[in-house]
Amino acid sequence: MSGIDYLVLFATVLAIPLYGLWRTRGRESLGHYLKGDKTIRWGTIGLSVLATQAGPITFLSMPGQAYESGIGFIQNYFGQPLALLVVCAVFVPIYQKLKVFTAYQYLGKRFDRKTQMLGAFLFLVQRGLAAGITIYAPAIILSAILGWQLNLTIWLAGGFVIIYTVAGGTTIVSLTQRYQMMVILAGMAVAFGVVIYRLWPSISFHHALAVAGQLDKLQAVDFSVDPHKRYTFWSGAIGGFFLALSYFGADQSQVQRYLAGDSLRSSRIGLLFNSVVKIPMQFFILLLGAMIFIFYQFEKPPVFFNRPAYERAVEHGAGPQLNDLATKADQLFEQKRDALRAYAADPSPEKMEPIKELDGRAQALRTETKQVLNQNGADPRSKESDYVFITFILQELPRGVVGLLVAVILCATMSATAAALNALGSTSVVDLYRPLRSSMGDHHYVVAAKLFTAAWGLVAIGVASFANLVENLIEAGNILGSVFYGSILGLFLVAFFVKRVRGSAVFFAALIAQATVFVLFFTTGIGYLWYNAIGCGAVIILAPILQRLLFRAEPREVA
């Protein structure tokens, strides 16, 4: 990165939180610290919800995912618009009516204190770990590619977030997320523009789409019913619906975003904004990855994008073997480029056949290279796809834009982490600490919320510092969420719709459901999105049964 890139990077990353600190100075009530104020409108809520969900992995790993496997990942979002409608119609009015600070407070009001604490505890475990992954994922890639020290990168991404989140609470999180999201969207649009512009002399956009489609990169919808396939219309629409319903309805990091508004209307429009823009946004991010794939059909790509793994294998003595594979890859690349140029000059189906055949051989060669790397020190769980987009940014984008795109990744890290820390601090105070020390003044709880937020920040940095690579980075957060979200969602759905069930029945039903999901997770290989439906379904079925068989005489207790 050049000097101008560092200037753009640090100016962007620092300016937004500093502005937020200036805007939110001197506001100290608990209500303000946890729920924000009336200056937060639907636009800020919409962008804040979008930024909280997206995170750095979306922008760093997703183009690489499309580069490698196509844009089928888009189907994971098919359940989201429907889930957001349910949240708008059912969850938001209840939260607003009861004036709760956290979603789990509602469980306390509807059931009892132990159920409130169970919901809060499951959230704290899941979100505390996920916050660590959110910091770790971009840090490991940026440090490897840019040569930055890993722990320094983790502290750079996490340390500043702790300071401004502790200082400004919910208002600063929403405010900074608005501007961070604007930077992110602008950066991704510039990257998309550059790749199309760079492709133009070689192939038109339309023909680039045709080639990408023929090479299996553009299958957006797959109606297969195979439960072992990770991305299908059905797993996305059904499993994705439960994941999104749980995430938006019962994950405090999101609930806090849309309760920050001045009215029910602001919360609802902010959420509906997300239900409309999410799928198109993800589509363009994935399409960017597919276009980068086409770009690297005309410009020679690195033999292996995960450069650190490649260098480690060379140090292990695999250099001659890798050089041999690289020579074969170069020859294949040139043959394929010639075939593509012939197709671009005269697009006809018969000219596509040799391209497909050469692409198959190139893929086989990449698999062979990967096996050599795995035998020579590369972590088999580290994904080549995570390094594709950052390599493209550093090698192909003009000076200044590189700094902007690295800022995009750091902004996404900061915005998602800030929302998580804000929610972890709030839940710790409202659902665990305040019930134990209930007679203190407002100022005491604000200080406690700040201390808990800072403590969770240090936990997240600790998790990030000791984390190992967990499969593909893009998946790690979703898998972790899916393991816990089902039972949390089950608690809320029983609370809303099964009136006769009381605290103890739903509490034990949730414990059994969570244990079942753990067993399935460790013993079967079913697609992770299904855990949401299984956990949630188990609570909904078990709670009335337990109520009828074991807790029939239990009186209603209000926390």
Partner 1 sequence: MSERLEKELRDEEPRWSRIYGFVLGFFALEILLLYLFTVRFS
Q: Identify which range of 277-285, 371-379, 442-450, 477-485 contacts partner 1 by CB under 8 A.
A: 277-285
Q: Is 220 in the site for partner 1 (CB under 8 A)?
A: yes
Pick the binder of partner 1 from 1, 4, 21, 82 (CB under 8 A).
82
Q: Which stretch binds partner 1 (CB under 8 A): 4-12, 149-157, 264-272, 337-345?
A: 264-272
CA–CA separation, 405 vs 123, rounded Å?
Answer: 32
Q: In angstroms, give the least distance from the CB of 227 to partner 1.
A: 21
- Choose between 8 and 287: whose C-beta lies nearer to partner 1: 287
Structure tokens, 496: 């809303």
The burial class, CB within 10 Å (0-12 / 13-18 / 19+), for 250 is buried
Q: By the 8 A CB rule, do 317 and 372 touch? A: no
Residue 159 binds partner 1, judged by CB under 8 A: no
Alpha-carbon dihedral sign for residues 287, 188, 279, 157: positive
Q: Which residues of 313-348 are buried (b: 16+ CB within 10 A; e: fewer)?
A: bbeeebeebbeebbeebeebbebbbebbeebbeeee
Q: Which is nearer to partner 1, 207 or 316 (CB)?
A: 207
Residue from 279, 447, 479, 559 binding partner 1 (CB under 8 A): 279
**Does 85 participate in binding partner 1 (rule CB under 8 A)?**
yes
Between 206 and 556, CB nearer to partner 1: 206
Instruction: Map residues 9-48 to x or -, x wherever contact with partner 1 holds by CB under 8 A.
Output: ----------------------------------------
Inter-residue contact 355 to 347 (CB < 8 Å): no
Residue 347 lies near partner 1 (rule: CB under 8 A): no
Q: Which is nearer to partner 1, 81 or 159 (CB)?
A: 81
CB 481 within 8 A of CB 531: no
Measured distance CA(79)–CA(58) in Å, rounded:
17
Asked if 469 interacts with partner 1 (CB under 8 A), we say no
Contacts (Cβ under 8 Å, ≥6 apart) of 258: 45, 49, 92, 267, 270, 271
Those residues with Cβ within 8 angstroms of residue 83's Cβ, 6 or more apart along the chain or in another chain: 240, 241, 242, 243, 244, 245, 247, 248, 249
Nearer to partner 1, 216 or 334 (CB): 216
Cβ atoms of 429 and 453 closer than 8 Å: no
CB of 93 to partner 1, least distance (A): 6
Q: x/- site string to partner 1, residues 280 to 299, per CB under 8 A?
A: x--x----------------
Contacts with partner 1 by CB under 8 A lie at: 74, 78, 81-82, 85, 88-89, 93, 96-97, 99, 209-210, 212-213, 216, 218-221, 263-265, 268, 272, 275-276, 279-280, 283
